[in-house]
Amino acid sequence: MDLVLRTIFVFGLILVVTRAVGRRELGEMEPFDVILLVVIGDLVQNAVTQSDHSLTGATIVVATLGSLTVFTAYLSFRFRRLRPVLEGRPVLLVADGEVLEDNLRRQRMTVEEVAAEARLQKIASFEQIRFAVLESNGAISFLER
């Protein structure tokens, strides 16, 4: 029983952490972030399974995580109000060539980062951009004028 409860707690904790850290950091992982992610995974595994080395324990944890993943996806699909909490909202970064600096600041992003992403999309200047949107998965999508 405690294995399921620990898994539910850790799932909720990871959900809160990923929402608090911000999508940009998760979408653009530096080597440090990758290592941190592995360390977090190891710590979480110890907290969930503790001394349990059994196949039964592993099956319970995987089944619980699978159920929770589907459950949160269903909540997000079924209840529109929960979507921003569970998945986040897209954020407008550039509108009609004008950089929205307040929105950038809230996402801890710089103009240079948006410019770099634009160049990767073969866009040479902000004037060419109609909309730039930070999507909930951390990627930036550009719509040209």
Residues lying near another protein in the complex (CB under 8 A) are found at 1-5, 51-57, 59-60, 62-64, 66-67, 70
Give the nearer residue to another protein in terms of CB position, either 13 or 63: 63
Question: What is the closest distance, in whole angstroms, from the C-beta atom of residue 82 to another protein in the complex?
Answer: 19
Tell me the residue type at 24. Answer: R
| Minimum separation from the CB atom of position 77 to another protein (A) | 14
Q: Is the Cβ–Cβ distance between 112 and 96 less than 8 Å?
A: no
Instruction: Tell me which residue of 62, 54, 45 sits closest to 4, measured CA to CA.
Output: 62
C-beta closer to another protein: residue 51 or 102? 51
Q: What is the DSSP string of 44-103?
A: HHHHHHTT---HHHHHHHHHHHHHHHHHHHHHHHH-GGGHHHHT---EEEEETTEE-HHH
Which is closer to another protein, CB of 26 or CB of 68?
A: 68
Give the C-alpha distances (Å, rounded to integers) separating 130 from 34, 49, 124, 141: 33, 50, 13, 11
Q: What minimum distance in Å lies between the beta carbon of 6 and another protein?
A: 11
Closest to another protein by CB, 67 vs 128, is 67
Nearer to another protein, 6 or 19 (CB): 6
- Quote the least distance from Cβ 83 to another protein, whole Å: 21
Q: Taking a C-beta distance cutoff of 8 angstroms, is the pair 138, 26 a contact?
A: yes
- What is the nearest approach in angstroms of another protein to the Cβ of residue 64? 5
